[in-house]
Amino acid sequence: MNLMKPLDFSIRPCSYNDIPAVMDVNETTLPENYPLFFYEQILEKYPKTFILAYNKDDPKQVIGYIMWRVERGLSSFGLQHVKKAHLVSLAVLHDYRRQGIANEILLESMKLIRDFKISEYVLEVRVSNSGAVKLYEDLHNFIKIRIIGHYYRDGEDAYYMAAKIQDNTKNQTSNQNLNGMTDMEIKQYFLDKNQGYILYNCPNCSSLHIKALTYSLAGTIDPDNSDSLLCADCNEEMTLLDIAAGKYNSFK
């Protein structure tokens, strides 16, 4: 339980002078730390969405921060190549948690990063970090897309989570995720592009999913690989090994 008295906080964009205080918050709250130039680069490229929470009684006291970057890649929700906002880091000092600070800087930064014409938000979070997962899932419409094995330096797995710009993320079915294409159209899409993908059905809810045929699924998958993917519709866990072996592939 947090016994500190509620804090009168406000939020503002980070400035270069704030970076040492942001680094202090980062280093006291997270094992993922970064050199000064990394913060400077994020601030230079994404100044509006590098946001701080500060103590109104002492505006130099930084109590939380958020940083995003923008990247391109395959959508978590379909076949398109899209622009995504990637959450780089978010933290709030221990004594000031559960007062809505993370929620507020998330809301504001997610609104502002839309200026980059992104179509989805993505992030990685430790599988053990149930508080952060709840924050992303319950308040910001993120869903778990897959588990990334051994993502963190200490060996812990990450959930890769994503949220669409639209609010209807949670109601989409996998077939809509594939842009409403028929099986034949999907097959033709791959033939035309000569691309490697595998289609598989969730054994629990039968939703159709797609996975890029990366090196690990292209025949060289390590038999000890324990990575798994989660069904976006029902959270059923499927191992990469089983997917690669075609266990769930009912698409002909």
Ligand X SMILES: CC(C)(COP(=O)(O)OP(=O)(O)OC[C@H]1O[C@@H](n2cnc3c(N)ncnc32)[C@H](O)[C@@H]1OP(=O)(O)O)[C@@H](O)C(=O)NCCC(=O)NCCS
- Using CB under 6 A as the binding rule, whether residue 135 contacts ligand X is answered as yes
**Closest to ligand X by CB, 102 or 210:** 102
- Using CB under 6 A as the binding rule, whether residue 11 contacts ligand X is answered as no
Cβ 183 vs Cβ 191: under 8 Å = no
- Using CB under 6 A as the binding rule, whether residue 97 contacts ligand X is answered as yes
Q: Indicate the pairing of strand 228-230 with strand 208-212.
A: unpaired
| CB of residue 234 to ligand X, shortest distance in Å | 22
- Using CB under 6 A as the binding rule, whether residue 90 contacts ligand X is answered as yes
CB-based contacts of 26, cutoff 8 Å, min separation 6: 32, 33, 34, 65, 89, 91
List helix spans (H) across 30-129.
Answer: 36-45, 101-112
Please tell me the distance from the alpha carbon of residue 82 to that of residue 118, in angstroms, as a whole number.
7
Kindly indicate which of the ranges 6-14, 134-142, 193-201, 213-221 contains the residues binding ligand X, using the contact rule CB under 6 A.
134-142
- Using CB under 6 A as the binding rule, whether residue 30 contacts ligand X is answered as yes
| CB of residue 229 to ligand X, shortest distance in Å | 20
Please tell me the distance from the alpha carbon of residue 125 to that of residue 129, in angstroms, as a whole number.
7
The tokens for 38 are 């990394």
- Using CB under 6 A as the binding rule, whether residue 55 contacts ligand X is answered as no
The tokens for 54 are 């500060």
**Closest to ligand X by CB, 1 or 184:** 1
**Closest to ligand X by CB, 12 or 134:** 134
List the one residue from 49, 75, 76, 99 that touches ligand X (CB under 6 A): 99
**Closest to ligand X by CB, 90 or 118:** 90
The tokens for 86 are 């990637």
**Closest to ligand X by CB, 135 or 165:** 135
Q: Which of 40, 6, 4, 10 is nearest to 22 (CA)?
A: 40
Interface residues with ligand X (CB under 6 A)? 29-30, 90-92, 97-103, 125, 129, 131-132, 134-135, 138-139
